[in-house]
Amino acid sequence: MTAQTAETALTGQSIIAGRSVAGAGRTVSGVDPATEEALEPAYSLIDEQQLAEATAAAAEAYETVSRLDPETHATFLETIAANIDAVGDEITARAMAETGLPQARLVGERGRTVNQLRLFAAVVRQGDHRGVRVDPAKPDRQPMPRADIRQRRIPLGPVAVFGASNFPLAFSTAGGDTASALAAGCPVVFKAHNAHPGTSELVGRAVADAVASCGLPAGTFSLIYGPGRSIGQALAQDPAIAAVGFTGSRAAGTSLMAAAASREVPIPVYAEMSSINPVFVLDGAIAEEDARRTLAEGYLTSVKGSSGQLCTVPGLAFVPEGEAGDAFVAAVGEAASSAAGQTMLTSSIAESWQSGAAQLGEQAGVEVVGRGADGETQNAPAPVVFTAGSEQFLANPALHEEIFGAASLVVRYRDAEDLIAVAQKLEGQLTATLQLAESDHDVARSLVPVLEQKAGRLLANGWPTGVEVGDAMVHGGPFPATSDGRTTSVGTLAIERFLRPVAYQNLPEDLLPEPVQEANPWGLTRRVDGTIVPAD
C-alpha cells in the first residue's frame, strides 16, 4: 500500500460534526484478510455519550440542511464526489489492503460511488423528488367550495447509516444510503464497518471537507466507530434519528428493525438483508451445446465473482431434468472444478461460508456438482456448486438459506408445473433471472406473475451481479431480501425513503415554502390541478 500523505494521514478517530474525536472505548484495527496482518492505525471506539454528541449535532443541522435551495444542495453533493476523486488512489490502495478485493473491482466501485453522488445532484436540481402538487382554490365549486391545497415532500430528519462489509465504497461511507439521505436533505450519522476503518476515514474526511467548504452546519455528517451491537442499537434508538439505512445480515437487520420499532416514536428501517437470487433455466436456453457451455461459464462467473460476496450472487439455479439439463450441469461442474478461491473480506466471513457450505452438503439428497481449489492466500476457500431435486428443495428449508460466498445450489425440476411450484415456495428475493429462448415464452409468461411477487428485479438472459445506478433500477424486494419491499436502495428512487408528504391548506403566500409558492421560485415541475406543468 502506498504511504499516506501528510494531508491524508489516518488518525484512527471518529469524525463528529467536523472534529476528529478519540473514542472512549477499546480499539479495533483493519486486517489484511490475505495475510491476517493488522493495519495501522488502530481505531478507538466511541461510547454512547459521544454518540449522543453526533446525533445532537445532526438534529441541529437538520433545520438548515432540510431547507437548502437546489443549486447549493447539488453543489454540495458534487463537492463530495470531487473530494473523493482527489484522493482516489489512496482510497483504492487502503481498501485493497483492508478487504482483499482486486484493484479493478475497487476502482469500479469508487466510480459508482462518485457517479451516484453526481446523479443525485442532478435529481436535486430537477426537483421532481419534492413531489409538488397544487390544487388551487375553487370558491365557486358546488356543492362545496374547495380550499387551496398544496403538497410537497420534506426530509424525515437525521438518518443513521450502517456501512456494509462487502462494499467498502458503494454501500459505505458515501455510498447509496448516505448519498440518497443527503440528497433528500437529511443529515447523516454514519457508523463505519470495523472491517475497513481506514477506507471509511478517507471517504468520511472527503464528506466532512465538503460540508465545511460548502458552508453547511458541521453536524450535517458524522463518521463514528463503535462496538457493532451496542452502538448500533443505541444509534437506532436515539430519539434524534428519524430513519435507518442498513445493508448486512438478516440477523443484524431484524435486530435493528426491532430496536427501531420498540422506540417511543418508532422509525423506519430500510434494511437490505438476505437473498439467494434464483436463476430459472428453461429448456430452450440449453437446447444447443454451445449455448449450454456459454451459459454454464456465465453462471459460474457470476457465482464466484468477488468471491461470491455480492448481494445479488445467484445462489440457486433451477435446471430441467433430461439430457440437456444433465449436460448443462456437467458443464457447470467442469467450470466449478477449474476455479480457484479468492480472498474473502474477513476470516469470520470465510469461516461462516465454510460452515454454511458444509451444512448444505450434509443435507439429504444434496450432492457436489463441482468444487474448485483453495486460493493461494488465507481466507480463500474453493468455490463449490451442489445439486438436489425439486422434491428435496420443497421439503427442506435448509436448502433455501443464503450462503454468503462462492457457493450455489442447482435444483432439478421435472416440468413447468414443478417449476411454478418451487418458485411459489421461495422467500422474497432481490432478483430473479430467466434464461430462455423464444420457444420458452409460454412457460415464462406463467412464471413472471409469480416472480413479480417474489423479487424486486426480474432479468432475462443476463446475470444479476452488477447493479446499474439509474432512474429505473430497483434494488430491493419482499422480506427477507429487504425490510420494506416498496423501496429501493439503488437508483434515484432511493431518495424517496427519506421523505414524507406535507400538505398546506389556505396558508398565506408569504408563509409557504418555496417549492409550493405560487411564483414557483425554484422552477420545479409541478402537478397543478391534476395536470403536469413542466419546470420553467
- Nearest alpha carbon to residue 84 among 75, 92, 96, 72: 92
Residue found by looking up cell 465545511 in the block = 212
Phi and psi at residue 271, in whole multiples of 5°?
Answer: -115, 130
- Separation of alpha carbons 202 and 198, rounded Å: 6
Contact 43/20 with Cβ under 8 angstroms? no
- Helix (H) or strand (E) segment spanning residue 167: none
Phi and psi at residue 276, in whole multiples of 5°?
Answer: -115, 0
Instruction: Select which of 60, 90, 98, 311 is catalytic.
Output: 311
Nine-digit cell at 331? 458443464
Contact 204/48 with Cβ under 8 angstroms? no
- Separation of alpha carbons 192 and 383, rounded Å: 29
* Catalytic-residue membership of 60: no
- Nearest alpha carbon to residue 100 among 335, 465, 489, 405: 405
- Separation of alpha carbons 340 and 383, rounded Å: 7
Phi and psi at residue 2, in whole multiples of 5°?
Answer: -70, 150
Contact 421/390 with Cβ under 8 angstroms? yes
If one counts every other C-beta atom within 10 angstroms of the C-beta of residue 165, the result is 22
Instruction: Select which of 90, 272, 351, 452 is catalytic.
Output: 272
* Catalytic-residue membership of 311: yes
- Nearest alpha carbon to residue 500 among 242, 259, 309: 242
Query: What is the set of active-site residues?
Result: 272, 311
